[in-house]
Amino acid sequence: MFTSIVLRLRPRLLSLALQFDADREAAEDAVQEALMRLWTAWEGLDDVADAERLAVRLTKHACIDAFRQRHQQQTVALTEVTATATSNAVHEAELQRALEQAVAMLPPAQRRLWTMFAEAQMGSAEIAAATGIAVRSVSSMLSMARRRIVESLKKGGML
């Protein structure tokens, strides 16, 4: 008896579930869940009409439960993405502050060359032409500045 009612009701329940959720797989899962619950309640039902009404109600509830669960998962995922982005932004800001402090601690001549190199994006030859310092000396001073900055960032735990 149960099997014959399920075979007759299943297309109607699937159609109902598809109205709630366009994803066929999710709709089929909701119908399956409703039919499992109907089977559990089968002994207490008086007639076929009660079974049909209960099956429709159980399908609606299964669809709503699935929607809520997906919504909750999406909210959790969005929260995790937001937390990661915030964490990355905080780390980026901390790294920027540490870099600025490391540059500020350079000797004035190295700081000047480093600023020209990093901020103005000038090459060694351009810096040499602008400052009158030999290209090899500019390269050497930039290398020392870079080493000091890296050491400072490592000491501060940023690298």
Q: Cβ of 51: how many Cβ atoms within 10 Å?
A: 19
Reported as a single tens digit per residue, the pLDDT across 69-112 is 888 888 877 888 787 888 888 888 888 899 999 999 999 999 99
CA distances in angstroms from 65 to 12, 26, 52, 71, listed in the order given = 19, 11, 20, 10
Note the pLDDT of residue 123: 92
Reported as a single tens digit per residue, the pLDDT across 110-129 is 999 999 999 899 999 999 99
Note the pLDDT of residue 131: 93
Note the pLDDT of residue 48: 78
Q: Where residue 143 falls among pLDDT bands split at 50, 70, 90? A: very high
pTM: 0.49
Q: Which helix (H) or strand (E) holds 104?
A: helix 48-104
Angle at 117 between CA 113 and CA 121, to 5 degrees: 150
Arithmetic mean of pLDDT, 23-27: 88
